[in-house]
Amino acid sequence: MAKASVIDVETGPRAGRVSLTRDGLFAASAALMGLTLYMVFFWVPTELNLGVSQRIFYFHVPLGWLGMLSIMLVAFASIMYLITRKEKWDSLAYTTAELGVVFSSLILVTGVIWARGDLGWWWTWDAKLTTTLILWFVYVGYLMVRAYAPKGSQGARFGAVVALFGAIDAPIIYMATVWWRTAHPELNTGPLAQDVDALGSGRIYVTLMVAVITFTVLYAYILVERYSLRRSEAALDEIHQSVA
């Protein structure tokens, strides 16, 4: 029964809706990305103090939002799996962790490039940078645990512990500039934004919001694609185990 339930996701009545959702997200993300690139490089003014390097801001901030969102989703899906024992939640946790390590890597890369252009250094053990690096290690640790721990619920439990640790780190990353003195700019987005005026022109804020929406839609598209593939992999694993 478990085997059939996994396979039905791709072959049953829901397959058409999943395909339609996938196509819609792909089209929306492509259109929004084109709009975002135009706004970043042609519409928004260049910040006088930072110059051209400031444009990486419109990529770094959305990546940061999605990197922190991913670990919260991993933790939530892990807990739901432990409660319900439904394979779909475990697939969601694993898939989101894979995306999380990609996005957190991009956070670090864009961050050090921006710091080099703005402040003149590649890396410093700043509170926000350090806690973001810890998040990257959490993602890598989760994937390593899932790769080498026993299969099934035991491996999922081990992974859930790692994910919960990462979920605790996410709000610490966001609040780092509030709790500690850091080289990182103050919060200018989110519910606790302290320095919204630092964004200057209204075009800068609008472009940032469009970029956040764009990368969120792109994230959703990649998540749907990878989740579908992950469930197919799980179905094949069940078939292999039953034959063996």
* Averaged pLDDT, groups of 10, the chain, 244 residues long: 44 64 88 93 72 79 90 91 87 92 92 76 79 91 87 79 86 75 59 50 83 94 89 74 69
Taking the C-alpha atoms of residue 242 and residue 108, their distance in angstroms, rounded to an integer, is 43
- In the chain, the amino acid numbered 27 is A
Q: What is the CA radius of gyration of the chain?
A: 20
Q: Read off the tokens for 88.
A: 């779909």
Q: What is the pTM of this model?
A: 0.81
What is the total count of domains within the chain?
1
Closest CA to 182 of 114, 113, 126, 119: 126
What CATH number has the domain bearing residue 70?
A: 1.20.120
Secondary element (H or E) of residue 44: none
Angle, alpha carbons 119-122-125 (nearest 5°): 95
What is the maximum alpha-carbon separation in the chain? 66
Contacts of 200 (CB under 8 A, 6+ apart): 47
Mapped onto helix, strand or coil, the DSSP state of residue 86 is coil
Domain membership of residue 168 as a residue range: 2-243
- Residues 26, 180 contacting (CB under 8 angstroms): no
Q: What pLDDT shows up at residue 57?
A: 84
From the number of C-beta atoms within 10 Å of its C-beta (0-12, 13-18, 19+), residue 71 rates as buried
